Amino acid sequence: MNSPLHLPDAHPPVATPKVGVLLVNLGTPDGTDYWSMRRYLSEFLSDTRVIETSKWIWQPILQGIILTLRPSKSGEAYKSIWIEETDESPLRKFTRDQSAALAERIGSDHLVVDWAMRYGNPSIASKLDGLREQGCQRILVMALYPQYSATTMASVYDKTFLALKHLRWQPAVRTLPAFHDHPTYIDKLATSIEKGVAAADFDPEVVLLSYHGIPKKYFDKGDPYHCHCHKTTRLVRERLGWSEEKLQMSFQSRFGPAEWLQPYTDKTLERLAEEGIKRVMVAAPAFISDCVETLEEIALEGRDTFLEAGGEHFDTIPCLNASEECIDVLETLAKNELLGWHNLD
């Protein structure tokens, strides 16, 4: 008589297939202390999408003088905006709130919405694991950068696929493209600017759109970010019906001695004041959520720069954050990208 066929031990049952949506923003330190800041900055500034210099040249500089001095300075900037009640950065709070609000709009037993950070916690890898454990065999990863840059959007997707590289059973993955000219984004961004201006206690002569900068050599190599920023500005200007003098643009947050995209925001604020412009408001369309670059660099440092140069009234317009306008944008984008995967009607 033949021996009975030996079957392997049964595997745990596979969960009912679901679809996941993962919102990903830039990142945040876990705290404002030196070591939290150092860990965060080391991860951020070690990204070869951000710093393209050879690691053999860059890492000794980074791990030496930069990460000796910069964590304390950056920690002070974060302390000025830190949310003490929940012990977190505004970017973490807003991204979590966006995820929760989007889940309220489109989430179901078969569609899971979550969030992650490119640098810091929660990591992309941990959240991909979490979605897979919940049965998500298809995942839409939405990098929350309206304008494409290799330093931002490509870096998120690099990290996503690096995490998938080690999996035996990979989920199917889609990635959100840039949405700098998407009609819903343009309309909701313009609406947020109108609301911000209406809420101010003065009538601005100039509204400045300040975008995060990148080194000019990245643009020269083919990064489309500069073009995307200009297109966003043009479309918002047309939607608002404003002149080029009323709605201007600039680039902030330059780092190091190399030339970055111009005009620079700090120099533009100085120029406007010197030209006799007394009332200015600033919005930051490269950021979907307020963060240290908007709440500290623009709202505090930018204010000082403008007033010291002779300006009289300065204010900022909040990013979309977790407003209805923001969730309208995220819902529209998610539904577009989920076509054929999940019926959201």
Say yes or no: do domains 18-179+325-337 and 183-316 share a fold: yes
- Backbone φ/ψ region at 310: left (φ over 0), alpha (ψ -120 to 50), beta: left
Per-residue pLDDT of the chain (345 residues), as tens digits, is 455 555 555 555 555 799 999 999 999 999 999 999 999 999 999 999 999 999 999 999 999 999 999 999 999 999 999 999 999 999 999 999 999 999 999 999 999 999 999 999 999 999 999 999 999 999 999 999 999 999 999 999 999 999 999 899 999 999 999 999 999 999 999 999 999 999 999 999 999 999 999 999 999 999 999 999 999 999 999 999 999 999 999 999 998 889 999 999 999 999 999 999 999 999 999 999 999 999 999 999 999 999 999 999 999 999 999 999 999 999 999 999 999 997 666
Cβ-in-10-Å burial (0-12, 13-18, 19+) of 211 comes to buried
Given a contact cutoff of 8 angstroms between Cβ atoms, the answer to whether 167 and 133 are in contact is no
Calpha distance 237→241 (Å, rounded): 6
Count of residues making up the chain: 345
Domain ranges in the chain are 18-179+325-337, 183-316
Q: Which two tokens stand for residue 136?
A: 């998500």
The hierarchical CATH code for the domain 18-179+325-337 is: 3.40.50.1400
Fold of 183-316: Rossmann fold (3.40.50)
Half-sphere exposure (Cβ direction) of 288: Cα atoms closer than 13 Å: 35
122 cis-preceded (ω within 30 degrees of 0): yes
User: Is the Cβ–Cβ distance between 207 and 193 less than 8 Å?
Assistant: yes
